[in-house]
């Protein structure tokens, strides 16, 4: 994705999560989470390589691409001995990431 971004490593109660942030953090958040076995580049590059869509999205939102554990760019292979996270665990990680960035109010 040929635009400026910052990668953050967020420590959650269930392990480390990679978050790529594109755009102005003062704008409303648009949060993405890739399909199983993909990362934000492989899942969303079609949308963000379209100049019109990318320009419109970045003009209106700050985009937070959350990569599931082991799916970030350059990730090491996950050990088969490591327990798999459940869907509830992954959802809890997303909540912790949103809390880290101040994305949940209330």
Residues 6+ apart with CB under 8 A from 40: 20, 32, 34, 65, 66, 67
Residues 6+ apart with CB under 8 A from 104: 95, 98
- What confidence score (pLDDT) does residue 40 get? 67
Mean pLDDT by 10 residues, the chain (106 residues): 75 89 88 76 68 77 86 74 89 93 64
- What confidence score (pLDDT) does residue 1 get? 47
Q: 11 in the Ramachandran plot: left (φ > 0), alpha (ψ -120 to 50) or beta?
A: beta
- The pTM of the full predicted model, rounded to 2 decimals, is 0.78
User: How far apart, in whole angstroms, are the C-alpha atoms of residue 35 and residue 58?
Assistant: 22
> What radius of gyration do the chain's Cα atoms show?
14
Domain ranges of the chain: 6-92
- What confidence score (pLDDT) does residue 106 get? 41
């Amino acid at each position: 994705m040929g635009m400026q971004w910052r990668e953050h490593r967020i420590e959650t109660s269930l392990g480390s999560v990679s978050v790529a942030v594109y755009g102005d953090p003062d704008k409303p958040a648009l949060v993405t989470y890739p399909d199983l076995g993909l990362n934000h580049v492989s899942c969303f590059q079609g949308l963000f390589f379209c100049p019109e869509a990318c320009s419109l999205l970045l003009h209106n939102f700050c985009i937070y691409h959350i990569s599931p554990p082991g799916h970030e760019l350059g990730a090491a292979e996950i050990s088969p001995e490591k327990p798999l996270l459940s869907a509830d665990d992954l959802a809890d990680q997303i909540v912790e990431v949103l809390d880290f960035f101040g994305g949940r109010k209330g």
